[in-house]
Amino acid sequence: MYNFVPVLTYIENGKKIKSDKTDCDLYSLEIVSSGDAVRCVIHPKKRIQLFSFAVETRKTMTDDEVFFVNGFQSWSTTRECKKTDKISNVNSLANISAFTKRLATMSGDYSFTVYGQAGRFHSFTYTYFRKGECVELFGSACERTGYTVFEIDNNEGVFRVIKDVEGVSVQDDYELMNIRMYSGGYDEVFDAYFSGLNLRKPKISHLSGYTSWYNYFQKIDENIILRDLDGLDRAKEAVSIFQIDDGYETFVGDWLDVDKKKFPGGMKAIADRVHEKGYLAGIWIAPFSVQRVSKVAKEHPDWLIKDKKGKNEWGCFAWGGAYTLDMYNPQVREYIKHFFDVILNDWGYDMVKLDFLYSEATEPRYNKSRGQIMCEGMDFLRECVGEEKLILGCGMPLGAGFGVVDACRISCDVDLVYGGKFYNKLGVNGEIPSAKNAINNSIFRRHLNGRVFCNDPDVFFLRKDNLKFTDEQKLLLAKVNNMFGDVLFVSDNAGDYGEKELEILKKSFAKSNAVVHSAFRTDEDNIEVRYTENGEERLFAFNIRTGHIKSE
């Protein structure tokens, strides 16, 4: 049993004060600890401005032990780490200016957590220590008062559970932490943790089909979409959804201003054609993002989140830069509700892929922590979408979407080059597109699939053009996605497939019956997966760097 010691950091006269007291003139701490839970509540005696709260205990990992790192959001690197490993910080080139640093760090947690120290790692919402088949899991029961960060520092010999409550002032009782602990086998502890959260169940168990992004990006039009829709006829029995990605709107944020040159028939007509095929119709939206040149950004600057200098806060660098709508503005809420109503009810789409969601909560505001803002943002989106339509989350801190989304991206974007482009080699940050990192995350976040939502490992490819993958790399990505995910997309025109590619597509779209027993790195580049399929024990081994399959 761990002996956790509390440490509260608060702001007084503009200075950070760190205290290990449980009772003083300013507050008292109520700590209830049992063998399988720790709950902490602060009872303020007068208003107190919080910064962070932690409980910590002595621990140093052994050489045969690994620590699970759940990355900040969908795209963030997730893996198991050994005692001497190091998770890199953003590339030092990002520090050239405040602007370049903001670009490199805005999609991650780099501004409020520690990176770049060997032996020191952190994980969001939950984590585990694993020795062989024995797993010790720690998980947050609630992220609504702030992100929960689990940190092991092998240099100091300390294991910390940190609550990010920066920006919150309290004068009434406030729950700082609620942690559950489980020990047992891998599947046993995750079954116990997630069942104990009493989450709303996703309305789907499997989706397979098409999304437009990775062949055309924003260069889509009505002819391309309808051609690729017809191309799926050859595998119709294996398809359940057809999704339109970015490029139908004039500018990001102006969702109802459809580009009439590209889609003269409008988006309802596309959804109708998809439904005629017997598929669900999906569409991509970044509901909190507005392109700098959008009509919304120009006409409603008061709708945008401001930084500390009063300037529009950048939420992402895509599309030449985008700002973020402040969802606490009543007019913004009505605007967002309206475009969801039109897209889902007038146009008739069945599922929305909601992207760049982290941008709503990059900094605390309105006496709310980042985690509280993110959870309230996800609740608001579900309210807008309603209970009958589907949500596929993306670019989302995962814990905030538990019980809210039906499916979720659990990896970064794949890239059209298997080994990644030049910026992958620079190591800009842990969210950069990469097939290698997508495969990695699909494996190490496998425990979420079916327990919390359907895992979306991003697309696989079978086409021959506009792609720099070997045939073996294509097969590796397809097999990993099928084995570890349940939202299975291609961005190819299946009408161009030969018979071989068509059969691989049908097989890869089918729901996997493989039962994974273990999946781990044997070294930095090699992964071994042991599983049972059709009653047969099997080994799937591959080099994640080269994409070479050694055994299957």
- pLDDT band at residue 372, thresholds of 50, 70 and 90? very high
Domain membership flag for residue 495? yes
Domain membership flag for residue 97? yes
Domain membership flag for residue 295? no
Asked if 249 and 287 count as a contact pair (C-beta separation under 8 A), the reply is no
Give yes or no for residue 436 having a pLDDT over 70. Answer: yes
Stated as kind and residue range, the H or E segment containing 383 is: helix 370-385
Q: Which of 161, 196, 231 is the last residue of a domain?
A: 196
Domain membership flag for residue 261? yes
Closest CA to 355 of 419, 426, 286, 275: 286
pTM for the full predicted model: 0.97
- pLDDT band at residue 98, thresholds of 50, 70 and 90? confident
Pair 452, 530 in one domain: no
Pair 450, 485 in one domain: yes
- pLDDT band at residue 80, thresholds of 50, 70 and 90? very high
Report the alpha-carbon angle 177-181-185, nearest 5: 150
Asked if 365 and 167 count as a contact pair (C-beta separation under 8 A), the reply is yes
Give yes or no for residue 378 having a pLDDT over 80. Answer: yes
- pLDDT band at residue 96, thresholds of 50, 70 and 90? confident
Domain membership flag for residue 323? no
Give yes or no for residue 423 having a pLDDT over 80. Answer: no
- For residue 103, what are its two tokens? 């670009």
How many domains does the chain divide into? 3
- pLDDT band at residue 97, thresholds of 50, 70 and 90? confident
Residue 92, pLDDT score:
80
As to burial, measured by CB atoms within 10 angstroms (0-12 exposed, 13-18 middle, 19+ buried), residue 488 is buried
What are 324-334's pLDDT values in tens digits? 999 999 999 99
User: What three-state secondary structure class fits 277?
Assistant: coil
Q: Which of 196, 228, 252 is the last residue of a domain?
A: 196
Domain membership flag for residue 367? yes
Domain membership flag for residue 546? yes
What are 221-264's pLDDT values in tens digits? 999 999 999 999 999 999 999 999 999 999 999 999 999 999 99
Pair 501, 525 in one domain: no
Domain membership flag for residue 393? yes
Domain containing 541: what range?
Answer: 513-552
The CATH code of the domain that includes 239 is 3.20.20.70
Pair 355, 449 in one domain: yes
d(CA 52, CA 250): 42
- pLDDT band at residue 15, thresholds of 50, 70 and 90? very high
Average pLDDT of the residues of the chain: 96
Alpha helices in 206-279 (DSSP H): 213-216, 222-231, 266-276
Pair 144, 232 in one domain: no
Average pLDDT over residues 421-428: 66
Residue 77, pLDDT score:
96
Residue 84, pLDDT score:
96
Residue 34, pLDDT score:
85
Give yes or no for residue 478 having a pLDDT over 70. Answer: yes
Residue 35, pLDDT score:
81
Pair 356, 404 in one domain: yes
What are 338-353's pLDDT values in tens digits? 999 999 999 999 999 9
Average pLDDT over residues 398-405: 98
Residue 12, pLDDT score:
96
- pLDDT band at residue 137, thresholds of 50, 70 and 90? very high
Average pLDDT over residues 21-37: 94
Alpha helices in 319-451 (DSSP H): 330-341, 370-385, 398-401, 422-426, 435-444
- pLDDT band at residue 422, thresholds of 50, 70 and 90? low
Pair 265, 190 in one domain: no
Give yes or no for residue 413 having a pLDDT over 70. Answer: yes
Stated as kind and residue range, the H or E segment containing 352 is: strand 351-354
Residue 95, pLDDT score:
81
Q: Which residue has the tokens 């970015």?
A: 246
CA atoms within 13 A on the CB side of 419: 8
Give yes or no for residue 389 having a pLDDT over 80. Answer: yes
- pLDDT band at residue 426, thresholds of 50, 70 and 90? low
- For residue 291, what are its two tokens? 């392109």
Give yes or no for residue 45 having a pLDDT over 90. Answer: yes
Closest CA to 274 of 262, 265, 285, 261: 265
d(CA 207, CA 202): 12
Pair 52, 116 in one domain: yes
DSSP letters spanning 131-149: ETTEEEEEEES--TTSEEE
- pLDDT band at residue 282, thresholds of 50, 70 and 90? very high
Q: Over pLDDT 70: what percentage of the chain?
A: 99
Pair 36, 171 in one domain: yes
Q: Which of 163, 196, 229 is the last residue of a domain?
A: 196
What are 483-533's pLDDT values in tens digits? 999 999 999 999 999 999 999 999 999 999 999 999 999 999 999 999 999
d(CA 107, CA 90): 11
Polymer length of the chain: 552
Pair 157, 266 in one domain: no
Pair 81, 129 in one domain: yes
Give yes or no for residue 93 having a pLDDT over 90. Answer: no
CA atoms within 13 A on the CB side of 58: 0
- For residue 515, what are its two tokens? 């039962």
Pair 226, 186 in one domain: no
